[in-house]
Structure 1
Amino acid sequence: MLKGQIDITWFPNSWIRLRTDKKVIYFDPAYLTTYFSKYPDKTEFSKWPDPIDGLPNGLEKADIICITHHHKDHCKKVTIDRLRNKATKVFAPKTCLTELGDTFQIVKTNDRIKIDNEIELEVVDAYNTEKGSSTRKQHKKGKGCGYIVTLGQLRIYHLGDTDFLPE
């Protein structure tokens, strides 16, 4: 059973950190200068041209990194490499192979991954629908994914770029 508090932090545009007293999980960590232009506490290691590389200061190394899809505002190898260590588990759909190479575990909808006695990942669909509120319909079903993270009795749902889904 999970004990203690959970801290959830949003970094622009699409990056989330979940932190418990024992684990750090990042969703879609991707540093892009545009989204961090007004962020007060950051280090930029390189600028244009790509790879644009930087981080908010003071971030911990991840235990788990979950990527929802291959777009650069969600999946950026240089950012992931700065946030990982040898023990970090990285999960992403197959569409991330070009950006990440073979440095992650490929996941697909309906996968269930037991990390330890307190944490489990469930991989779910994430996509745009014809009638959804997204302005651009660029996320097709089966190309990306979302995650339901179970932390003890708590379940947290992260979908990346998506609309409200019938599922």
Structure 2
Amino acid sequence: MKFKIFLAVFILGISQVMAQKSASDEIKTSKGLLKINPVTHASFVLTWDNKIIYVDPTGNREMYKTFAAPDIILITDIHGDHLDLKALEALNTKKAIIVAPQAVAIQLPASSRDKLVILNNGMQTSQLAIMVKAVPMYNLPQTMDSRHAKGRGNGYLLTIGGKSIYISGDTEDIPEMRALEDVDIAFVCMNLPYTMDINQAASAVLEFKPSIVYPYHHRGQDINAFKKLVNNKNRKIDVRVRNWYPLLN
């Protein structure tokens, strides 16, 4: 009897973990649902209108086995938690359009360059009915020897089915982020010493007021405290705390 109870509890626990890993958020757009799937740290997958977008894919192939091959890959920066050449080699990227800044582009293998779109800050492109604009991401104060110098990497603004989606990349609470307007969904980083702390992130979010914000790239930070900082001053902002580190649970 005890073994049967143990087995039932074990199976339930495994089912809950698998459900948590496979769960995605669904957001209505003017053309169907946008599905948001955290993978790990800075990596996530967006699905919309039968199109698959990988953002900063890192890790191993198994982490992406439940997703179709990407149509678009967005890469923000040269650091290994954003640009993972081994992951790109392991994944099926045959049909993928890769969007990246120049600093990333020069590190990609020659086999990727025929499907590469280079965007630097301020540039934009339309791919598969999705508008992609590169926006600044950098550390403060601005110095060329900082971990993230201005102009090297990209944040991204996407327009998908009438929704404006901001991906911060590795940044602090820079003026360009604070000046954003009419953002529907924001992915905002927060981890020291590479980007910013939860206080800086909350202050920036309260200024540009996205409708929904996902704290991500937050290893070591108290994201529930971030949620309180935001919602204590603005309850209209939907702060969505999701599982970006499934392997640690």
TM-score band w.r.t. shorter chain: 0.7 to 0.9
Q: Secondary structure at the match of 2:87?
A: helix
Q: TM-score, normalised by structure 1?
A: 0.75
2:21 aligned with 1:12 = no
Higher share in helix: 2
Do the aligned partners of 2:101 and 2:119 also contact (CA within 8 Å) in 1? yes
From the CA coordinates, give the structure whose radius of gyration is larger: 2
Do the aligned partners of 2:61 and 2:91 also contact (CA within 8 Å) in 1? no
* Aligned ranges 1:87-98 → 2 under 5 Å: 87-98=95-106
RMSD (CA atoms): 2.0
**TM-superposed deviation, 1:160:** 1.6
* Aligned ranges 1:81-120 → 2 under 5 Å: 81-102=89-110, 103=112, 104-116=116-128, 118-120=129-131
Kindly report structure 1 stretches of 4+ aligned residues shifted beyond 3 Å.
Answer: 81-85
Flag structure 2 segments of 5+ consecutive residues without an equivalent.
1-28, 177-249
The higher relative CO (CA closer than 8 Å, separation ≥ 6) is in 1
Do the aligned partners of 2:99 and 2:118 also contact (CA within 8 Å) in 1? yes
Do the aligned partners of 1:60 and 1:83 also contact (CA within 8 Å) in 2? no
Aligned residue-pair number: 140
Cα distance 1:96–1:115, how it changes in 2: closer, same or farther (>3 A)? same
User: Equivalent residue for 1:155?
Assistant: 164
**TM-superposed deviation, 1:107:** 1.4
CA distance in 2, matches of 1:55, 1:107: 29
* Aligned ranges 1:21-100 → 2 under 5 Å: 21-31=49-59, 53-56=60-63, 57-100=65-108
**TM-superposed deviation, 1:138:** 0.7
Q: Secondary structure at the match of 1:96?
A: helix
Do the aligned partners of 1:128 and 1:141 also contact (CA within 8 Å) in 2? yes
Q: Secondary structure at the match of 1:81?
A: helix
Do the aligned partners of 1:63 and 1:84 also contact (CA within 8 Å) in 2? no
CA distance in 2, matches of 1:100, 1:55: 22
Q: Deviations over 1:96-152 (max 9, x none)?
A: 245313423221011110113x31101111111239xxxxx5111011011111012
User: Equivalent residue for 2:198?
Assistant: none
81-90 vs 17-26, which moves further: 81-90
Q: TM-score, normalised by structure 2?
A: 0.52
CA distance in 2, matches of 1:151, 1:11: 20
101-110 vs 80-89, which moves further: 80-89
CA distance in 2, matches of 1:87, 1:2: 26
Q: Secondary structure at the match of 2:131?
A: strand
